[in-house]
Structure 1
Amino acid sequence: MQGVQTFEKYVFKADPDRALCASFLPEPARQNIFLLLAFHDEITRALVPGRSATIAGPMAAYIRLQWWRDVLEGTRPPEHELATLLLSALQAKKFRTETVTDLLEARESELSAEGDPSSWAAMMLKGSGGLQRAVGEALGITDAETLDGLAACGAAYGAGAMLRHWPVLQKAGGRYLFPGEADGLRQAGLVFLAEAEQKIARGSLAAKAALPAVLSRRDLQRDSTQAGRPRGLGDKCAVIAAGLKTRWSGNKT
C-alpha cells in the first residue's frame, strides 16, 4: 500500500462502517483518521485464529501485538509503511500516544479475558471506544467530557456490531465476546449510547465524530437476523443522512 489514499481504499474494504462515517469528516484530519482505522484493523486481524501458519494460538497474536508496541515505544524500527505513517502522525500530535496504546491494550486484553462484564466494558472503552476518542483528537477536540462521550459512542458501536453478528461470532471464536447473554449485551450497549448522547452536543464538531452512534442505535434495536451479512441500504442511508446534516451544522466543540 502506498500513501494515505491507498489506506483509505483499504479501510473501505476492511471496515466499511467506520470508513463511511469517516468520509464525512473534514480534511486534513480525515487522512490521519483513515490511517488510524487501518492500524486498528491491523491489530484486530492479529486476533483471528490461524493467522500464522507457523505459530498457532494466542501466542501468534501476542507476537504481532508486541511488534506494534515495540514500534510505538521506539525500541523497534517501523519497517512497515503503516507504522512509519502512524509514528509521523503521533509525532505531529494528531492524536495522543496514550490513546493509541490503549487500542493495543484492548486487543491484548482479549487474549487474557477475565470474563466479567466490568472488564469487558473497560476493554470496549479502550478498544472501539478509544478508536473514536482518537478520531475526536484528530479533529482537535480537547474537552475531556466530550472525548469521554466519543469513547462511549465507540463502545456503543462495538457492542451493537457484536450483537448484530452475535451467533456468527460465537461460532468463530478468537474474540472476547460479552460475558453473558445477548440481552445483557444489548443493555450494556444502550448504557454506552446514553452516555454518548449525554456528553456530545448536537451540532458540535464532536457530533461529526459520533456518526457510528447512528449504526449502534439501529443495531441495538434489532435481533441478529443480519448476522454475517453486509450492511443494508437502510443503514447506509441513515449514516449518509446524518453525515450530510453534520456538514451543514456549526463547528462548535
Structure 2
Amino acid sequence: MSAEDLSQLLQRADPDRRLAALFAPAGARARLFALYALNHEIARIADATSESLIGEMKLTWWHDAISDLYAATPKVRRHDVTEALAPLTGLLPQTELLDLIDARFEDVAAAPHADLDALLDYVDRTSGRLIRLGLILTGGELPEPQIRDAGRAWGLTGLMRAFAWRARIGRAPVAGDYLTELGGSPAMLAQGLGSDKAKAAIQPVRAIAEDAARGFAAAGPLAVEAVPAVGYVVLARAYLKRLPDNPFEVPAERSLLARQARLGWLSLTGR
C-alpha cells in the first residue's frame, strides 16, 4: 500500500492525525501514515468483532506479526500495514509497538475501567504512546509532561466523543468505582441507560481532559518537527466544548475547514 493509499484510508479512519501529518516532509509523512494505519487496525477490532475470543485472536495475530518484523531473520506477513511498517523497525522500539497492541486486549475483553487510574493508564498506553512513537518518526522532541498532557487531552476527549460506542463494548470512559458509588454499572451504560449517572461519572474525566489540554498549550510553542506528530492535539479544546450534556448523544463535528485553518496556524506559529 502506497503512502497515498494510506492517506486515503486515514482520511476516513483518522482524519485529524492525518491532517497534522501532512505538515511533515514526504518521508516522515509516510512513516506516520504507516504507524497510524496500525493504530486504526488494532483499535477497530473491538468494534468489528462480537466475540472476545475472536478479537483476542486478531490482536494476537498483530502482536505476532510485529514480533516477526523484529526477528533475527525478519518476516513480513502479507498485509499492507505490516509491509508499510517493515522499513521502520530501525526507528521504532519493538516493545513500544507491542504494548500499543497489548493495551487493546482490554477492549476486546470488555473489561470496565476499575478506577480513574486504570482509565488514565489505558490512555497513556494508547494515545500517549502513539504520540511518543510519532515524535520518533519526525525527529521531534517534547518534555515528558507535555507528552503526557497531549496524550491525555486527545485520548480522553476521543473516548468521551465515542461514549455511546465505548459504553456498548463495556468500556465507557468513566471510573468504575465512582460509577458504582453513583448507583450505576457498566451493564446499565451498555444498554444506553442511566444518562444522568453517566453525566455525573464523566465529569471528573472531562476535568482531567480540560486540564491536560491547558497544560499542553501552556508548555509553549511546538517545534516544527513536533507539529506533524502531535499538532492535532490543539483541536481537543474545541472538541471538548462541543461535547453534549448527555454523553450518549453524538457530539457536533467541527468543520474540516476550521480544523485545517487551526492546524495551518499552528504550523506557522507553533501555537
- TM-score, normalised relative to structure 1: 0.80
Partner residue of 1:139?
A: 138
In 1, are the aligned partners of 2:135 and 2:229 still within 8 Å (CA)?
Answer: yes
Is 2:51 the counterpart of 1:57?
A: yes
Which sections of structure 2, spanning at least 5 residues, go unmatched?
A: 180-200
Deviation, structure 1 residue 204: 1.6
Structure 1 residues 102 and 171: CA distance shift in structure 2, 3 A: closer
Give 1:121 deviation, angstroms.
Answer: 0.2
2:190 is the alignment partner of 1:190: no
Alignment-derived partner of residue 104 in structure 1: 101
Match of 2:129 in 1: 130
Give the conservation status (yes or no) of the 8 Å contact 1:96–1:137: no
**Identity value in percent:** 21
Is the contact between residue 204 and residue 249 of structure 1 (CA under 8 Å) also seen in structure 2?
Answer: no
Q: Which residue of 1 aligns with 2:19?
A: 20
Separation of aligned partners in 2, 1:208 and 1:32: 11
Find 1:204's aligned residue among 203, 223, 226. 223
Unaligned runs of 5+ in 1: none
Picking from 231, 244, 254, the partner of 1:232 is: 254
Q: CA deviation at 1:174?
A: 5.4
* Deviation at residue 198 of structure 1 after TM alignment: 4.6
CA 1:63 to 1:101, structure 2 compared with 1: closer, same or farther past 3 Å?
same
Q: Compute the displacement of 1:170 (Å).
A: 5.2
* Aligned-partner Cα distance in 2 for 1:86–1:216: 28
Alpha-carbon RMSD across the aligned residues, in angstroms, is 2.7
Q: Does 1:73 align with 2:67?
A: yes
What is the Cα deviation at residue 43 of structure 1? 0.2
Report deviation, 1:229: 6.0
Count of matched residue pairs = 236
Tell me the equivalent position of 1:84: 83
Residue 27 (structure 2) pairs with residue 7 (structure 1): no
TM-superposed CA distance for 1:107, in Å, is 1.0
Measured after TM superposition, the shift of residue 42 of structure 1 is 0.3
Residue type of the partner of 2:51?
Answer: G
Give the direction of change, closer, same or farther, for the CA distance of 1:170–1:113 in structure 2 (3 Å limit): closer
- Secondary structure of 2:77's counterpart equals coil
In structure 2, the residue matched to 1:216 is 236
| Counterparts of 2:166 and 2:47, CA distance in 1 | 13
Residue 137 of structure 1 and its aligned partner are, at CA, apart by 1.2
In the TM superposition, what is the alpha-carbon distance from 1:210 to its structure 2 partner? 2.8
One-letter code aligned to 1:191: D
Q: 1:162 aligns with which of 152, 159, 162?
A: 159
Deviation at 1:34, TM superposition (A): 1.0
Matches within 5 A, 1:116-127: 116-127=115-126
